[in-house]
Structure 1
Amino acid sequence: MTTLTQLQPTPVIDETVRLLTEHYVFAGTAEQLAGLLRRRLAEGAYDVDGAEELARLVTADLQSLNGDRHLRLKHHADPVSPEQGAASRDAMRRDFETSLGGAPRVELLAGGVAVVELAPMLFPLEWAAEPLSAALTLASRAQALIVDLRGNRGGDPDTVAFVCSYLLDERTHLNTMEWRENERSEQSWSLPYVPGARFGGSKPLYVLSSDSTFSAAEELAYDLQQLGRAVVVGERSRGGAHPCRGWTVHPHLEVTVPMGRAVNPVSGANWEGTGVQPDVPCTAAESLDRAHELALARLAG
Structure 2
Amino acid sequence: MQLLKTALDLVRQHYIFPETAASVIAAVEARTAAGDYDGLDDETLAARVTELFLATSGDKHLRLLVRSPDHRAATTESETEAAWAEAQRLGNHHIAAVQRLDGNVGYIDLRGVASPGDGGTAIVAAMELVTHTGALIFDLRRNKGGDPEGVQLWNSYLFPDSDTHLNDIYDGDTTRTRQFWVLPYVPGRRYLDRPVYVLTSSFTFSGGEEFAYNLKALRRATLIGEATRGGAHPTARFPVSATLEVAVPHARSINPVTGTNWEGAGVEPDIAMPAGEALQVAYRLALEHVVTTDTSQAVLAEAREALSAFSH
Give the TM-score normalised by the residue count of structure 2. Answer: 0.88
Displacement of 1:187? 0.6
1:158 aligned counterpart, secondary structure: helix
Structure 1 equivalent of residue 189 of structure 2 = 197
What is the distance in 1 between the residues matched to 2:79 and 2:200?
Answer: 29
Residues 93 and 168 of structure 1: CA distance in aligned 2, closer, same or farther (over 3 Å):
same
Is it true that 1:208 corresponds to 2:163 in the alignment? Answer: no
1:197 positional shift: 1.3
Aligned pair count reads 289
Matches within 5 A, 1:20-169: 20-76=11-67, 78=69, 79-84=72-77, 90=83, 93-98=86-91, 100-119=92-111, 121-169=112-160
Q: Which residue of 1 aligns with 2:169?
A: 177
Q: CA deviation at 1:186?
A: 0.8
- 2:223 maps to which of 224, 232, 250: 232
Match of 2:242 among 251, 274, 297: 251
Q: Which residue of 2 aligns with 1:285?
A: 276
**Structure 1: gaps (5+ residues):** 1-9
Deviations 1:241-271 (A, max 9, x none): 0001011001000001000100101111111
**Which one-letter code corresponds to 1:126 in the other structure?**
G
Q: 5+ unaligned residues in a row in structure 2: which ranges?
A: 293-312
The one-letter amino acid paired with 1:67 is G
- Give the drift of 1:92: 5.8
Which deviations, in whole Å up to 9, do the C-alpha atoms of 1:83-112 show, x marking residues without a partner? 2385576356324313x3322211112322
CA positional deviation for 1:66: 2.9
CA deviation digits over 1:178-210, x for unaligned, max 9?
12124221111110101111112x211100111
Could you say what secondary structure the match of 1:206 adopts? strand
Q: Is the contact between residue 84 and residue 246 of structure 1 (CA under 8 Å) also seen in structure 2?
A: no
Give the Cα separation in 2 of the matches to 1:219 and 1:273: 13
CA-atom RMSD in angstroms: 1.6
Which residue does the alignment assign to 2:295? none
Q: Hey, what's the Cα distance between the residues in 2 that align with 1:46 and 1:88?
A: 30
Q: Tell me what 1:11 maps to.
A: 2
Query: What TM-score comes out, normalization by structure 1 length?
Result: 0.91
Return structure 1 stretches of 4+ with deviation > 3 angstroms. 84-89, 298-301
| Distance in 2, Cα, partners of 1:227 & 1:109 | 26
Mapped contact 2:88–2:114 kept (Cα < 8 A): no
Aligned equivalents of 2:237 and 2:63: distance in 1?
Answer: 9
Residue identity over aligned pairs, in percent, reads: 38
**Are residues 187 and 71 of structure 1, via their aligned partners in 2, closer, same or farther at CA, if it must alter by over 3 Å?**
same
In structure 2, relative to structure 1, the CA distance for the partners of 1:12 and 1:85 (3 Å cut) is farther
